[in-house]
Amino acid sequence: MVRFAICDDDYRFLRAFRTRVETYCIRHKIPCQASIFLTPAELWMARIESFDIVFLNVDMGYWDGINIARAVRRQSARTLIIFVSAFVQFAPQGYGVGAFRYLLKNELDHSFAAAMDDALAVRAPLEQLTVRVRKEEYALPLEGISYVESEKRVLTFYLLGSREPELSCYRRLSDLDDELKGKGFLRIHKSFLANLRHVHDIRNYRATLTDGTELAASRQNYREVLQRFAEWRARPN
């Protein structure tokens, strides 16, 4: 799953550009999620480090896209920044803050596909988890797993963007927890292993995911859960 963020103060352009991104991904059979934001403040609230590629306008009135890109780079070294602007004169500044590409809005029909090809080619290989269901094996990208639920030794995997169970298999949750140690997952409850990339907040013995899903958090180990979550959020990128 490739996660895109698109930030521009022109709502009509935002919708059209999201369609452009989604059409490219469908054509190339790439699972994706494209989110749109009218202001950098909205983008920041969505936790910038969770996105793989950010399309950012340079001139958004009150907002300076160059400074926003600089802040994005401080927050997440792995996120690719692609400027999409009507003004060519800002290109040197854009590349100066580590932008991957600088695209002009009136040339997107010719430049967009090549930029996407290049951006997806340089993304780091995704870590995967192999899940065996009966006689079939499935390779799940770790970043695409939202959480795992255990009930009577049956593990059910919930994937990003879906609240419906995707895969189930017989396995101990403790064994899976051991396998995923150090890879961004936390046993928040005896029945739940959550992907911290997609946990928005933990409070009042509940973990709220970025899609609004709420999971129970352990009362017995609640302080440890909070500590581990705080350490994850404070980690260097």
What does the pLDDT average to over 17-38? 92
User: Taking the complete model, does pTM exceed 0.75, yes or no?
Assistant: no
Cβ atoms of residues 59 and 65 within 8 Å: yes
Asked if the model's pLDDT at residue 161 lies above 70, the reply is: no
Residue 88 CA to residue 11 CA, distance in Å, equals: 21
Q: Which residues of 147-165 are buried (b: 16+ CB within 10 A; e: fewer)?
A: bbbbeeeebebbbbeeeee
Map out the domains of the chain as residue ranges: 2-122, 128-234
Asked if the model's pLDDT at residue 160 lies above 80, the reply is: no
For tokens 């103060």, name the residue.
9
Centre a 10 Å sphere on the Cβ of residue 218 and count the other Cβ atoms it contains: 17
Q: Residues 86-131: pLDDT tens digits?
A: 888 777 776 777 788 999 999 999 999 999 998 988 775 567 788 8
Instruction: For domain 128-234, give the fold.
Output: OB fold (Dihydrolipoamide Acetyltransferase, E2P) (2.40.50)
Asked if the model's pLDDT at residue 23 lies above 60, the reply is: yes
Question: Which pLDDT does position 25 carry in this prediction?
Answer: 92
The CATH code belonging to domain 2-122 is: 3.40.50.2300
Is the model more confident about 159 or about 188?
A: 188
What does the pLDDT average to over 5-27? 95
Asked if the model's pLDDT at residue 230 lies above 80, the reply is: yes
Backbone angles phi, psi at 6, to 5 degrees: -125, 120
What does the pLDDT average to over 188-203? 94
| Structure tokens belonging to residue 55 | 């399309």
Q: In the structure, what pLDDT confidence band is assigned to residue 226 with cuts at 50, 70 and 90?
A: very high
Backbone angles phi, psi at 108, to 5 degrees: -60, -35
Helix (H) or strand (E) holding 66: helix 65-75
